[in-house]
Structure 1
């Protein structure tokens, strides 16, 4: 009988019963998680898509990040701001201080103001923004280095908003714990708890993500032990761990798609 309750209703019920104080400005450590989009688009369309469904086009700030995401291709968030003639990142118009240019790039062509990470090379190339290419979005994960129960973490994420925007967050909805597109090393080095909460919850006989229509692909126990009904990520082992929801842990928040 319990299993007949619609999943979407269960998720909305959790949101309803937990009180939601006024929103707070986003705090925590930003964690890079790349979402490759194979559809070819202009840079501006790619930027709008990433901001709508994820967070923004990716920002790459050092060689370690550039090497990690070298196998993937597409537009990145770097563009030439023609007001100041500076290279900036899409997220917050942050001035770029790291570059991974290909040889003889940029070539000075004032019409090539957007940056592509080509599949054939880990280096970057400047291209016309009106060209169509795949692109790389940033999921917009936030590591909150506070210890809270699963329910407290859920409320905390829902309170977050990006300063000056209507962006909202939720407990992180991920695909698999060993997702090599997520920077688990930064989580491991900066979390002050061994596990971090994610938006995985056992309800009405099923494991659910706190987001509609998000499947759970991992082999989780069909009958978890009493009170072991909340899911956490173990960055050291890149695996899910089932825990009591009353335990207090750091947690990951992710942006709620604007759909």
Structure 2
């Protein structure tokens, strides 16, 4: 990696990896001990200019359904009806049912996905009204309206590609959790070889890191990623290219990669317990 490339990406990785090691190599019949200082930057060069594969994918459906039917369709064919938490996520290209609903007039508004309490409401004037408990957007997508859930509308589903699991687990237990979330071939266990749809998250691009950082804000501390030191090199367990194969580093313990809440990557003992990020593997 050139000095210009290192300068370009240095703002992403403030921490350096210092390995106290006792590595023995046989070179021309001579044994020697080597201690190596390896910047984490050199292990993880992000790819610039690429859109994150981790952000949700929104699909617009023109079928006319009531809110409950649309919710069921999205859950069977995607992840759920779309969730919109802030102005940045608000959609101006599509219109129809969104995942926002309430049980009755006195109830909190919630999102269909996980029954998360909603906090962002760009309602059109005079909305919502009594008895109107499901939300939809009009053509411009900027303002929301409420209507009876039995009404028929087009709707928007989304695919969730990155999941923050709010359970404290070791790195290996976190890996197993991700890989058992969903099977590629539903007729076989997700634990079968290469039959897992999810894995511990791989963060290849700058936007991957940015979106993962946003997602990790809900965690109390840093979170596990799919980075692991194996067989003398750093690898992403999902199999994606990324860390160079010729980095000479030799941690004295089992080290795995974490994402800090400030967006930087670092390493920790794999036996520590923390929240973790699972991601949906790209289709081959």
Q: For residues 144 and 203 of structure 1, what CA distance do their matches in structure 2 show?
A: 26
Asked whether the 8 Å contact 1:78–1:114 carries over to 2, the reply is yes
Q: Which residue of 1 aligns with 2:6?
A: none
Q: For residues 206 and 275 of structure 2, what CA distance do their matches in structure 1 show?
A: 14
Q: Which residue of 2 aligns with 1:233?
A: 259
Q: Which residue of 1 aligns with 2:274?
A: 250
Asked whether the 8 Å contact 2:57–2:158 carries over to 1, the reply is yes
Asked whether the 8 Å contact 1:198–1:251 carries over to 2, the reply is no
Query: TM-score when scaled to structure 1?
Result: 0.50
Asked whether the 8 Å contact 1:34–1:58 carries over to 2, the reply is no
Query: Which of 220, 235, 238 matches 2:243?
Result: 220
Query: Which of 131, 136, 145 matches 2:153?
Result: 131
Q: Deviations over 1:98-121 (max 9, x none)?
A: 63312233467x7x7642345735
Q: Which residue of 2 aligns with 1:38?
A: 59
Query: Which of 108, 111, 115 matches 1:89?
Result: 111
Higher RCO (CA 8 Å, separation ≥ 6 residues): 1
Query: TM-score when scaled to structure 2?
Result: 0.47
Q: Which residue of 2 aligns with 1:4?
A: none
In structure 1, runs of 5+ residues without a counterpart are 1-32, 162-167
Q: For residues 45 and 181 of structure 1, what CA distance do their matches in structure 2 show?
A: 34
Q: For residues 80 and 279 of structure 2, what CA distance do their matches in structure 1 show?
A: 10
Asked whether the 8 Å contact 1:230–1:244 carries over to 2, the reply is yes
RMSD, aligned CA: 5.0
Return the offset for 1:134: 3.7
Q: Which residue of 2 aligns with 1:197?
A: 224
Q: Which residue of 2 aligns with 1:76?
A: 98
The DSSP-based 3-state class of the residue aligned with 1:132 is strand
In structure 2, runs of 5+ residues without a counterpart are 1-53, 183-195
Q: For residues 121 and 106 of structure 1, what CA distance do their matches in structure 2 show?
A: 16
Alignment of 1:146-165 (within 5 A): 146=168, 148=170, 150-155=171-176, 157=178
Return the offset for 1:155: 3.5
Q: Which has the larger radius of gyration?
A: 2
Return the offset for 1:133: 4.1
Alpha carbons of 1:39 and 1:55: their partners in 2 closer, same or farther (altered >3 Å)?
closer
Alignment of 1:39-188 (within 5 A): 39-42=60-63, 47-48=71-72, 50-52=74-76, 55-59=79-83, 65-70=85-90, 74=94, 75-79=97-101, 81=103, 84=104, 88-91=110-113, 99-106=121-128, 114-117=134-137, 120-126=140-146, 130-139=152-161, 141-144=163-166, 146=168, 148=170, 150-155=171-176, 157=178, 171-172=200-201, 176=205, 178-179=207-208, 182=211, 184-185=213-214, 187-188=216-217
Asked whether the 8 Å contact 2:258–2:268 carries over to 1, the reply is no
